[in-house]
């Protein structure tokens, strides 16, 4: 857009709305002269821990009341896996500060474990990262192929998240699902947002890939190829050994006999020479 066009556009806005106020000054706690207050969302300012073995007879209201002075702001009893209607002895606690090593409920000390959330997996489109209630897909999709079709249609398996052909979209062995679990673990342990955890994970993965490229793993040396003439060579060596074992002893005997004959001849020659001298 040319300068003249931008000026005309600006002039039209001023006629309709008046002069535009500068709203960039936000450092003083106000927005265009209006006081504002900011706070972190509960997901960024709180931590969650799980406790196993809490009796089912202890209801959530009583548990929360007993922990009100120990920075616990919310409690939720989790159901048995696979049976959402059956409560378990596992309770999820939300703390307003760092998770303590132990808390006391009616004079009983409990140890906590940090809670690592599982990735959201929509059961409408079967994609990771959001729940069914926040899905924007207009139709239900098949978890086997990720497409929308009739229930009696026979489809081929292909995960909608990683495009793998060996598992469905609800598989816990999906590479994308496992990567999301790792990112959530980084987010909880390091106390950072999921976005920052993903960035750190991607940087560490990129570093690992670059390192492997700079220092590739050398394959083990392959054994030398087999010689096709090895059987013939072995047979020839055996034949040479056989000939040597037979020939060399007989040659040694012949040399020994020749040596004896030569010694006898020399002796007879010396005797005959002495006899002929007057």
**pLDDT above 80: residue 21:** no
CA atoms of 78 and 90, how far apart (whole Å): 6
Yes or no: say if 99 and 47 are a contact pair by the CB < 8 Å rule: yes
42-114 folds as: Alpha-Beta Plaits (3.30.70)
CA atoms of 66 and 104, how far apart (whole Å): 8
- What DSSP state is assigned to residue 149? -
**What is the predicted pLDDT for the residue at 114?**
75
Give me the residues paired with residue 51 across strands: 91
**pLDDT above 70: residue 25:** no
Domain with CATH 3.30.70 in the chain: 42-114
Point out the least confidently predicted range of 21-25, 88-92, 224-228.
21-25
Phi, psi of 241 (to 5 degrees): -65, -40
**What is the predicted pLDDT for the residue at 45?**
46
Q: How sure is the predictor about 144, in pLDDT bands with cuts at 50, 70 and 90?
A: very high
Name which residue leads in pLDDT, 206 or 29: 206
Percent of the chain scored above 70 by pLDDT? 73
Q: pLDDT tens digit string along 153-168? A: 999 999 999 999 999 9
**What is the predicted pLDDT for the residue at 30?**
59
């Amino acid at each position: 857009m040319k300068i003249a066009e931008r000026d005309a556009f600006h002039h039209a806005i001023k006629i309709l709305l008046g002069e535009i106020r500068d709203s960039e000054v936000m450092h003083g706690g106000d927005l265009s002269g209006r006081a504002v207050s900011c706070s972190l969302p509960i997901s960024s300012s709180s931590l969650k821990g799980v406790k196993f073995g809490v009796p089912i007879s202890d209801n959530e209201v009583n548990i929360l009341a007993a922990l009100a002075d120990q920075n616990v702001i919310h409690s939720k009893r989790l159901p048995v896996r696979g049976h959402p209607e059956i409560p378990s002895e596992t309770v999820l606690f939300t703390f307003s500060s760092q998770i303590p090593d132990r808390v006391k409920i009616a004079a009983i000390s409990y140890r906590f474990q940090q809670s690592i959330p599982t990735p959201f997996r929509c059961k409408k489109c079967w994609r990771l990262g959001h729940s069914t209630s926040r899905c924007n897909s207009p139709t239900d999709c098949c978890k086997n192929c990720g497409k929308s079709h009739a229930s009696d249609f026979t489809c081929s398996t292909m995960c909608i998240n990683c495009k793998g052909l060996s598992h469905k979209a609800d598989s816990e062995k999906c590479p994308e699902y496992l990567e999301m679990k790792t990112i959530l673990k980084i987010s909880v342990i390091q106390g950072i947002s999921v976005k920052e955890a993903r960035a750190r994970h991607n940087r560490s993965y990129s570093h690992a890939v670059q390192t492997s490229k700079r220092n590739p793993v050398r394959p083990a040396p392959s054994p030398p190829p087999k010689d096709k003439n090895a059987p013939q060579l072995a047979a020839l060596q055996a034949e040479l050994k056989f000939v040597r074992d037979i020939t060399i002893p007989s040659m040694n005997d012949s040399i020994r006999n020749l040596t004896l004959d030569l010694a006898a001849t020399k002796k007879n020659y010396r005797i005959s020479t002495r006899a002929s001298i007057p």
